[in-house]
Amino acid sequence: MQVNRKIPIAIEQYLMPGIVVVLMVLLYAPLLIHWYDGWLNKNIGIEHEYFSHGLIGLPFAAYIVWTKRHEWQELPNISHPFGIGLVVIASIFYSSGLGDLVNLSFPLMLTGICINFKGIPGVKLMGIALVFVFLATPHYLPYLIEPLALPLQTFIAHVAGFVLTQLNLEVTVEKIYLFVNGQIVEVAPHCAGLKMLFTSLYVGLMLLYWTGLLASRTLSILFLVSAAFISIFANIMRNTLLTLFHGTGQDGLFAWLHEGWGGDLYSACMLGLLVVLINGLQHYATIDSES
C-alpha cells in the first residue's frame, strides 16, 4: 500500500511537470530561436528590435525560476479555473498563426501553467520572472507609440542643432530635419530613442531585482526615472554625433555608429552608467539602514 501511494506522488511531482516541460520545448523552441536570430542578426522587424533586451532578459527570468525552485516545490498543488482559461487562450493564440498572437501566447501559457500547478501563490512566487518574460515578448505596440514620439524627435533635432552650432557649424533645423553643409539628417521615429529607453528601463528593473532595491518603492522610482533621463540624454548625444559625422562627410564613422557595432558599444556604455548609478543607490541604502 505504501509503495502504491508513492507512485501517484512521484507522478504528480515529476512526470507531469516533465511532460509539460517537453511540450513547452517542442512548441516554443522554434519561436525563441526565431526571436534570438532576429535580435542577434537584426533581420527581424524594426518594431521587434525594440525588445532585443530579451537577449539577456529571458535567461535572467530562467535564472530566477531556478533560484526559486525549492520554494515552488514547497507550495501545495492547487489548481485554478483561471489557469485553464489562460492555457486555452494561449493555445488559440498559438494556433492562429498571427505573429503577435503567437508571441503573446508564450507568457500567457507560462502564467496559465503556473496557476494550474500552484494556483495564485505560484503566480505570486514566479511573478517577477513572468514580468521579465512578458516585457521581452515582441509585439507591435511600439509601432502604435512611434507617431506619438514626434515631440521627442523635434526636441532631439533642436538640441542637436544647438550643440552643433556651438561647434561653429552652419546648422538649420526644420522640425525633425537638420541641414548641415548641404547634408540632410532626419531624426526618424525609430531614432527617437524609444528602443534605448525600453532597454534602459528593462535593464534597470533587472538591476533593481538583483540588488534587492526593488523592495524600496522610493529608490526604485528614483532609479528608473534617472535611467530614463540618462537614456534620453545619451540618445540626444548619439543623434548629435550622427549629424556631425554625416554633415562633415565622415560616412565611415556615421555607418559605424548608426548600423555597425559602434551603436552597440555606445548602448553598452550607457547601460554601464546604470550599473554605476545602482551601486551608488545601493551604497546610500546601506548607509541609511545603518544610521
Condensed to tens digits (0 to 9), the pLDDT of residues 46-75 reads 778 889 899 999 999 999 999 999 999 899
| Chain position carrying cell 530614463 | 228
Is the pLDDT reported for residue 14 higher than 80? no
Q: Give which of 111, 107, 129 is closest to 209, Cα–Cα.
A: 129
State the chain's mean pLDDT as an integer.
Answer: 85
Name the CA dihedral angle for 196, 202, 203, 205, rounded to a multiple of 10 degrees.
140
What's the pLDDT score for residue 3? 44
Is the pLDDT reported for residue 168 higher than 70? yes
pTM of the model: 0.86
Buried b (16+ CB within 10 A) or exposed e, 166-189: eeeeebebeebebbbeeeebebeb
String of DSSP letters for 39-101: HHHT-S-HHHHTTTTHHHHHHHHHHHHHHTHHHHHHS-----HHHHHHHHHHHHHHHH--HHH
- What's the mean pLDDT in 130-135? 96
Q: How far apart are CA 72 and CA 13, in angstroms?
A: 11
What's the pLDDT score for residue 2? 46
Residues 245, 253 contacting (CB under 8 angstroms) = yes
- Locate the domains of the chain by residue range: 2-139, 144-290
Q: Of all residues in the chain, what percent carry a pLDDT higher than 90?
A: 38
Residues 223, 215 contacting (CB under 8 angstroms) = no
Tens-digit pLDDT profile for residues 230-288:
998 888 888 888 888 887 878 888 888 877 778 888 888 988 999 999 998 887 777 65
Write the DSSP symbol of residue 176: T
- What's the mean pLDDT in 195-214? 92
Is the pLDDT reported for residue 147 higher than 60? yes
Is the pLDDT reported for residue 149 higher than 60? yes
| Cell numbers describing residue 143 | 509601432
Is the pLDDT reported for residue 157 higher than 90? no
What's the pLDDT score for residue 106? 95
Confidence of residue 13 (pLDDT cuts 50, 70, 90): low
Is the pLDDT reported for residue 289 higher than 60? no
Residues 231, 274 contacting (CB under 8 angstroms) = no
Is the pLDDT reported for residue 209 higher than 90? yes
User: Dihedral sign, CA of 29, 33, 39, 44?
Assistant: negative
Tens-digit pLDDT profile for residues 79-123:
788 888 999 999 999 999 888 899 999 999 999 999 988 899 999
Give CA angle at 238 (235, 241), nearest 5°: 155
Write the DSSP symbol of residue 192: S
Beta bridge partners of 173: 178
| Chain position carrying cell 552652419 | 170
Q: How far apart are CA 203 and CA 239, in angstroms?
A: 22
